[in-house]
Amino acid sequence: MASTFASRIENLIHRVLTVERGVLLAVLSLALTANAPLAAAQKIELSVDVSKTGAKIDRNIFGQFAEHLGHGIYEGIWVGPDSPIPNTRGIRNDVVAALKAIKVPNVRWPGGCFADEYHWRDGIGAQRVVRLNPNWGGVIEPDTFGTHEFMDFIDQIGADAYVSVNVGSGTPHEAADWLEYMTAAQQTTLAKERAANGHPGPYKIARLGLGNESWDCGGNMTPDYYLSQMKIYSRFVRNYNPEQQKQQMLKIAVGPGGGESRWTDWTETIMQAYQHHTWSWDIDGLSMHSYTVVKWPPSYKSFDFGETEYAQILKSTLEMDDLIKKHSAIMDKYDPQKKVALIVDEWGGWYAPLPGSHPGFLLQQNSLRDAILAALNLNIFARNADRVRGANIAQMINVLQAMILTDKEKIVLTPTYYVFKMYVPFQDATLIPVTFDAGTYARDDIKLPRVDAIAAKDTTGKLWLEITNVDPNAPVEVAVSLTGINAKSAAGETLTGAKVDSINNFDAPNTVVPKPISAKAQSGKLTLKLDPKSVTVVSIEQ
């Protein structure tokens, strides 16, 4: 007993000393930080040779994904015509205005895992079928938002439809009927039903997903089993829209979800079959899903984290490049002409659900780290533009790495939203190779390229440059030399924040917003001074 008492006292003294030492260290470090000058700017030379051109950056790499999951659809897009929240035919006006500004090329819908349990007839006509959503919290799915509401929504924002059909629990017959319902111009029974439901003309379906993650939530199929199913859907699920007979709908097969052998086998199986495909089936794209997670189940915080988590997440996100290269190399073996596009139709940071939120709703915050993560991935897609001709960030509103967060009538545009806005000039632009020595940013044992950059000529011939400064501690001074044009100045926007985990929320929606930046050329060089942890897009004036 006496010895226990003594050790308790010893313990207490130790804890008091530790706390005091901690307080002392914190005060010292505060004092040091307050007086510390900003780290010296790192100097980088970057060359752009405008006479050399690369592939076209397909605007569809800026695609969005909207699944019936949490508040992605209901409350995020759909509030219903009787809502006090301003809306057009039930669709939020504030959300539409924000999405129009980022020129969303296409929206993937209705899932995700949800797509392989979706029955389209539940979501048309006056009597909607109320079901459960077993994948995402087992909540009520009212099916109020169905085909017509989705088409109205994408029409309001000016995007194309990327519809995923149900291969997991549906039938080819059901999917074929859905496509006929949406696209037939002639007076078939299904086209008449569509007209009776308010849309006499056929809809345009730009992209068609033949299932979703069929190796997992889409039915846990083997590659061979999926292949035999996919051929049937590819053959019978037809688009009848007369305007799409020339500019046809892209059929996208389920592809890999990682780099391990089960995924490389999957890509091999589909692409080998594609090489010898007959007239009766075809595909135009192979999907790939890759989230930045680090640990499963997702446990990294989406807010209130430190520099180590910042570096870990960005290190992990850069693996996207190797993954694309790995699967592109397999595709090249069977499709050297690159007819089949790689479509990264689910990507983004996936973190722990926000405390107090429904864990099945995948609600997370969106920080400056996500803005940088988005820029790094968009640059990877752009550099692989000869094969990557589509990508869909997961997901558009209130789910995972969202563009927009809503809470009843309130709306917040996230740092990721602003990156997509700044990148609009890169939509359909032609890649121009850039050369630079990126340098290194190190945190603990993690090493990352300090800087990333892409350049491209837009459809009007204007040159654009994007530079990401990954280093959260040091500004960077980039001296840009341009061959092939006489650059006079550069102007555009830069996005940064006070901390790597700075966020926009309903109380402070403008914490991370783009600010103007410009530079004048001197002796033929443009020098851009970029803040630590920033994303910058400028156009070059001649």
Q: How far apart are CA 28 and CA 22, in angstroms?
A: 10
User: Over the Cα atoms of the chain, what is R_g?
Assistant: 25
By beta-carbon proximity to ligand AHR, the closer residue of 55 and 217 is 217
Phi, psi values for residue 232, rounded to 5°: -65, -45
Q: What share of the chain is helix, strand, coil (3-state, %, to 5)?
A: 30, 25, 40
Virtual torsion, Cα 141, 147, 149, 151, nearest 10 deg: 140
Spatial CB neighbours of 168, under 8 Å, sequence gap ≥ 6: 116, 117, 211, 212, 214, 217, 218, 219
In the complex, least distance from residue 317 CB atom to ligand AHR, rounded to whole angstroms = 16
- 212 forms part of the interface with ligand AHR (CB under 6 A): yes
Binding mask 82-121 for ligand AHR (x = CB under 6 A): -----------------------------xxx--------
Restricted to residues 112-171, the positions that interact with ligand AHR (CB under 6 A) are 112-113
**Pairing between strand 515-522 and 525-530?**
antiparallel
Site of tokens 């590819």: 234
Q: Which of these is catalytic: 213, 268, 309, 466?
A: 213
Is 379 within 8 Å of 467 (Cβ atoms)?
no
In the complex, least distance from residue 392 CB atom to ligand AHR, rounded to whole angstroms = 10
Q: Which of these is catalytic: 141, 309, 346, 466?
A: 346
Binding mask 363-402 for ligand AHR (x = CB under 6 A): -------------------------------xx----x--
By beta-carbon proximity to ligand AHR, the closer residue of 118 and 464 is 118
Binding mask 454-473 for ligand AHR (x = CB under 6 A): --------------------
Near ligand AHR by CB under 6 A: residue from 58, 67, 117, 141: 67
By beta-carbon proximity to ligand AHR, the closer residue of 349 and 532 is 349
Q: Count interface residues toward ligand AHR (CB under 6 A).
A: 11
By beta-carbon proximity to ligand AHR, the closer residue of 76 and 497 is 76
In the complex, least distance from residue 184 CB atom to ligand AHR, rounded to whole angstroms = 29
By beta-carbon proximity to ligand AHR, the closer residue of 253 and 394 is 394
Q: How far apart are CA 497 and CA 512, in angstroms?
A: 5
Restricted to residues 484-503, the positions that interact with ligand AHR (CB under 6 A) are none
Binding mask 330-359 for ligand AHR (x = CB under 6 A): ----------------x-------------
Respond yes or no: is residue 346 known to be catalytic.
Answer: yes
Is 130 within 8 Å of 143 (Cβ atoms)?
yes
Please give the biggest Cα pair distance in the chain.
94
- Which residues are paired to 160 by β-bridges? 106
Q: How far apart are CA 324 and CA 387, in angstroms?
A: 9
**Pairing between strand 388-394 and 341-349?**
parallel
Is 41 within 8 Å of 473 (Cβ atoms)?
no
Near ligand AHR by CB under 6 A: residue from 58, 149, 180, 213: 213
Q: How far apart are CA 402 and CA 364, in angstroms?
A: 8
Residue nearest to ligand AHR (CB): 112
By beta-carbon proximity to ligand AHR, the closer residue of 217 and 474 is 217
Residues in contact with ligand AHR by the rule CB under 6 A: 67, 111-113, 212-213, 217, 346, 394-395, 400
Q: Which active-site residues does the annotation give?
A: 213, 346
